[in-house]
Amino acid sequence: MAARPKNPPPDRRGDILDAALRLFAEKGYDAATNAEIARAAGITAAALYYYFPSKEELFRAAVSEHLAQFLPTLTNLTRQGGPPDGGSQEPFRSLLQRALAFFTGEKSQLVLKIILAEGPRRPEIRQIWNEQTAAAFASLMPYLAGAIADGRIRPVDPRLVFVLLQGPLMSAIVLRDLLQIPALQELTDEALVDAVLEVTLPGLLTDGR
Amino acid sequence: MAARPKNPPPDRRGDILDAALRLFAEKGYDAATNAEIARAAGITAAALYYYFPSKEELFRAAVSEHLAQFLPTLTNLTRQGGPPDGGSQEPFRSLLQRALAFFTGEKSQLVLKIILAEGPRRPEIRQIWNEQTAAAFASLMPYLAGAIADGRIRPVDPRLVFVLLQGPLMSAIVLRDLLQIPALQELTDEALVDAVLEVTLPGLLTDGR
DNA sequence: TCGCTTACTGATTGGTCAATTAGTATATAC
DNA sequence: GTATATACTAATTGACCAATCAGTAAGCGA
């Protein structure tokens, strides 16, 4: 009977998007029902259709708008901590630390679960991912290319540099955190970053190790 | 009306498992229907229940038995190509090449899609993955630990060595192949392996670069 | 205070799907 | 050549779920 709520929450739409992101990540698109999402957001299933035209659109909005929230953090990864300076690993330590801290964050992990689960089978999800991360990628490539042009890091394809540095972080996030492989549980973020800095990075810097 | 088939295929169960793996990978567990799987296997949906007690059990069997097929290949990765010998990158080149070739294989990618999609939300899938890959992991760790004990590679936690070498491969498989990020499409397996050998590996070998 | 808009709820519908059941043609054992 | 087990099919059932719809209480501008 209660139609319009007496003390309305300030951001119902945001609440729905948050609930949807969590449930889509935890149970998958099909297994997460409108009723569950609505209940988690404090409304009924029918009310979802007041804010979104379909479950599909709600899904896309949840992924897209949460990814958009990450954009400033991602593009700022290369802007803070200073430029790579002659042979020093400090700017890279800062970059890797903040990148890893970001991707192990709770919200990020929810988004990553969805991207890994639905991305490979949904072109529109891949497109959202590509559009939203393109800016971050586009700021990282000149950062690396510039360091190469200045002779601070060896002339290696910046995309390879990216994969070499980011790969170990991704491996830890997927294997340790998402798949919870027992043998990797004791790996700390610090040890991982240190290892990349001590093992991989020297192979990239022009002054060797 | 046609009940028992006139010329029965030799491995109906295997056909079902193959069809199930493909459809579960392409569409996800919920979106892949019994009817589709059955049709792809050349039978009706009801006949699935002659071979498997439920859709869940079929799913588990498809993942588990296909993973089991990979086991010999995975454990042999460290046995072929020779042991890591003094400062040479050759054994590692062979190891990385074969590992990457394996994981970019068609069947492997189907399994990987399922593991990445369902693993994070299903403990039983993580368990199957852990059980089946534990043997490969258990053969890799002494391989690396032995090389450390012999002083051929630097004393770095073998789990970190694993993550540093495997991470870039995983990054390529996930970002380039599964998420099809445009900027990474031109990355070849060869260039990737070369980069790991030239950049990351020298940081691990005792004689430096 | 009236009328309109906003922000919902409860009930219903149509469709889909996993699972069950009863039946049947083929092969195999004796 | 009959009996029994094997390997299925067609049809049905029950449950669930996305989406729709009619209604309704609260805010709001004139």
pLDDT (0 to 100) of residue B209: 47
| Helix B106-118 vs helix B123-149: crossing angle, to nearest 10 | 120
What DSSP string runs through A57-75? HHHHHHHHHHHHHHHHHHH
Mean predicted confidence (pLDDT) in A139-165: 92
Q: Taking a C-beta distance cutoff of 8 angstroms, is the pair A195, B164 a contact?
A: yes
* B30/A26 CB distance under 8 A: no
Chain segment A95-151, per-residue pLDDT in tens: 999 999 999 999 999 999 999 999 999 999 999 999 999 988 898 999 888 888 988
Half-sphere exposure of A201 (CA within 13 A, CB side): 19
Which token pair is A153? 């890091």
Which token pair is A197? 């800095």
Query: Would you say the C-beta of B10 is within 7 Å of strand C?
Result: no
Q: Taking a C-beta distance cutoff of 8 angstroms, is the pair B104, B177 a contact?
A: yes
Residue A17, number of CB atoms within 10 A of its CB: 23
Per-residue tens of pLDDT for chain B, all 209 residues:
567 777 778 899 999 999 999 999 999 999 999 999 999 999 999 999 999 999 999 999 999 999 999 999 999 888 876 666 655 778 899 999 999 999 999 999 999 999 999 999 999 999 999 999 998 889 899 988 888 898 888 999 999 999 999 999 999 999 999 999 999 999 999 999 999 999 999 999 987 54
Q: Where are the alpha helices (DSSP H) in B104-157?
A: 106-118, 123-149
A69-78 long-range CB contacts below 8 Å, 24 or more apart? A69/A107, A70/A102, A70/A107, A70/A108, A70/A111, A70/A132, A71/A132, A71/A135, A71/A136, A73/A102, A74/A102, A74/A133, A74/A135, A74/A136, A75/A135, A75/A136, A75/A139, A77/A102, A77/A136, A77/A140, A78/A139, A78/A140, A78/A143
Name the nucleotide with the smallest C1'–CA separation from B2.
C25
* B120/A30 CB distance under 8 A: no
Give the Cα separation of B152 and B144 in Å (integer): 10
Rounded mean pLDDT of chain A? 93
Cα-flanking dihedrals φ and ψ of residue A28, to 5°?
Answer: 90, 160
Q: Taking a C-beta distance cutoff of 8 angstroms, is the pair A158, A94 a contact?
A: no
Query: Would you say the C-beta of B56 is within 7 Å of strand C?
Result: yes
Q: Taking a C-beta distance cutoff of 8 angstroms, is the pair B169, B189 a contact?
A: no
Contacts of A160 in chain B (CB under 8 A): 187, 191-192, 195, 199
Closest CA to B59 of B29, B37, B81: B29
Give the Cα separation of A168 and A146 in Å (integer): 23
Measured to protein CB atoms, the chain C nucleotides within 7 Å are 6-11, 16-27
Query: Would you say the C-beta of A6 is within 7 Å of strand C?
Result: no
> Partners of A205 in the beta sheet?
A153
Q: Taking a C-beta distance cutoff of 8 angstroms, is the pair B170, B99 a contact?
A: no
Give the Cα separation of B22 and B37 in Å (integer): 9
DSSP state of B206: T
Query: Would you say the C-beta of B132 is within 7 Å of strand C?
Result: no
* B191/A31 CB distance under 8 A: no
Name the nucleotide with the smallest C1'–CA separation from A1.
C9
* Angstrom distance, B130 CA to D21 C1': 50
Question: Can you count the helices (H) and strands (E) in chain B?
Answer: 9, 0
Give the Cα separation of B58 and B209 in Å (integer): 50
> Partners of A194 in the beta sheet?
none
Cα-flanking dihedrals φ and ψ of residue A160, to 5°?
Answer: -70, -40
Structural class in CATH, domain B69-203: mainly alpha
* A121/B129 CB distance under 8 A: no
- Angle value at C-alpha A153, between A147 and A154, nearest 5 degrees: 125
Give the Cα separation of A163 and B128 in Å (integer): 28
pLDDT (0 to 100) of residue A165: 97
Contacts of B115 in chain A (CB under 8 A): 179
Residue with tokens 């990978």: B25
- Structural domain spans, chain B: 9-59, 69-203
* B199/A164 CB distance under 8 A: yes
* B28/A28 CB distance under 8 A: yes
Count the residues in chain A.
209
Mean predicted confidence (pLDDT) in A71-97: 81
Residue B108, number of CB atoms within 10 A of its CB: 18
Give the Cα separation of B201 and B198 in Å (integer): 6
Give the Cα separation of B161 and A201 in Å (integer): 14
Closest CA to A89 of A206, A205, A11: A205
Task: Name the residue type at position B171.
Answer: S
Closest CA to A80 of A93, A61, A62, A68: A93
pLDDT (0 to 100) of residue A209: 47
pTM score: 0.94
CA-nearest residue to A196 within chain B is B164
pLDDT (0 to 100) of residue B97: 96
Query: Would you say the C-beta of A40 is within 7 Å of strand C?
Result: no
Same fold? B9-59, B69-203: no
- Topology (CATH level 3) of domain B9-59: Arc Repressor Mutant, subunit A (1.10.10)
Cβ neighbours for A143, distance < 8 A, ≥ 6 positions apart: A78, A83, A84
Shortest CA gap A104–chain B (Å): 14
